Structure 1
Amino acid sequence: MSTVGVVTPFWLDRPPLEAVDIAVAADEAGFGTLWIGEMATFDAFALATAVGLRTSRISLRIGPLAAGVRSPVALALGLSTVVATTGRPASLALGAANPRIVSGWHGREWAPVRRTRETVGDTRALLTGKRVDGFRLPGPLPGTTISVAAFGPAMTRVAEEVGDEVVLNLVSPGHVTRGRKPRAVWVPAALDPGPATLRQLRGQLAVYLAPPGYGEMFTALGYGDLVEQARAGTPRARLAEAVPVELVEAVGAIGSVDDVVRRVHEYLDAGASHVGLVPATAEDPAARRLLTTLAPLLTGDLS
Structure 2
Amino acid sequence: MELSLPLDYAGDPRQAADDVAALEAAGLDAVWVAEAYGFDSPTIMGYLAARTERLKIGAGILNVYSRTPALIAQTAAGLDAVSGGRALIGLGASGPQVVEGWHGRAYDKPIGRTREAIELTRRILRRETIDHHGITDMPRPGGLGKPLKILARPVRAEVPLYVASLGPANVRMTAEVADGWLPTLYIPEKAREVWGTPLAEGAARRDPALGPLQTVAGGLLAIGEDASALRDLARPRIALYVGGMGAPGKNFYNDLAVAYGYEKEARLIQELYLAGKKREAEAAVPDEFCELISLCGPASYVRERVEAFRDSGVTMLNVTPVGPEPAKLIETVKSWL
How high is the TM-score relative to the length of structure 2? 0.77
Q: Deviations over 1:198-233 (max 9, x none)?
A: 453211111210443321221233332342234431
Aligned to 1:301: none
1:144 aligns with 2:159: yes
1:243 aligns with 2:274: no
For residues 52 and 97 of structure 1, the distance between their equivalents in structure 2, rounded to whole angstroms, comes to 25
- Give the one of 206, 215, 224 matched to 2:263: 224
How high is the TM-score relative to the length of structure 1? 0.85
Aligned to 1:284: 324
Cα contact 2:4–2:316 (8 A) shared by 1:
no
For residues 20 and 44 of structure 1, the distance between their equivalents in structure 2, rounded to whole angstroms, comes to 13
1:27 aligns with 2:24: yes
Change (3 A) 1:21 1:119: same
* Greater Cα shift, 48-57 or 129-138: 129-138
Cα drift, residue 129 of structure 1: 1.1
Instruction: Say which SS state the counterpart of residue 105 (structure 1) adopts.
Output: coil
Cα drift, residue 153 of structure 1: 0.9
1:100 maps to amino acid: Q
Aligned to 1:114: 112
Alignment of 1:1-303 (within 5 A): 3-10=1-8, 17=14, 19-111=16-108, 112-132=110-130, 133=138, 134-137=147-150, 138-140=152-154, 141-173=156-188, 174-176=190-192, 177=196, 179=200, 180=203, 181-191=212-222, 192=224, 197-210=230-243, 211=245, 212-232=251-271, 233-235=274-276, 236-277=278-319, 279-281=320-322, 283-284=323-324, 287-298=326-337
Higher relative contact order (CA 8 A, sep 6+): 1
Q: Deviations over 1:84-139 (max 9, x none)?
A: 22324212121121111111111122121121111111112111212332342222
Q: Can you give the 5+ residue segments of structure 2 that lack an aligned partner in the other structure?
A: 131-137, 139-146, 204-211, 246-250
Q: Deviations over 1:56-97 (max 9, x none)?
A: 211222223212221112212222222222324212121121
- Asked which structure has the greater CA Rg, the reply is 2
2:233 maps to amino acid: Q
* Greater Cα shift, 126-135 or 246-255: 126-135
Cα contact 1:199–1:240 (8 A) shared by 2:
no
Instruction: Say which SS state the counterpart of residue 130 (structure 1) adopts.
Output: coil
Structure 1 runs, 4 residues or longer, greater than 6 Å off: none
Identity %: 25
Q: Deviations over 1:22-42 (max 9, x none)?
A: 422331111222222323432
For residues 227 and 104 of structure 1, the distance between their equivalents in structure 2, rounded to whole angstroms, comes to 23
Instruction: Say which SS state the counterpart of residue 316 (structure 2) adopts.
Output: strand
2:48 maps to amino acid: V
Change (3 A) 1:271 1:199: closer
Instruction: Say which SS state the counterpart of residue 144 (structure 1) adopts.
Output: coil
- RMSD (Å) for aligned C-alpha atoms: 2.6
Cα contact 1:168–1:183 (8 A) shared by 2:
no
Aligned pairs, number: 292
Change (3 A) 1:8 1:243: same
For residues 267 and 105 of structure 1, the distance between their equivalents in structure 2, rounded to whole angstroms, comes to 34
Cα drift, residue 49 of structure 1: 1.0
Change (3 A) 1:271 1:84: closer
1:61 maps to amino acid: G
For residues 186 and 290 of structure 1, the distance between their equivalents in structure 2, rounded to whole angstroms, comes to 17
For residues 19 and 286 of structure 2, the distance between their equivalents in structure 1, rounded to whole angstroms, comes to 27
Change (3 A) 1:63 1:297: same
Q: Deviations over 1:172-222 (max 9, x none)?
A: 112143632524132112214769944532111112104433212212333
For residues 84 and 68 of structure 1, the distance between their equivalents in structure 2, rounded to whole angstroms, comes to 24
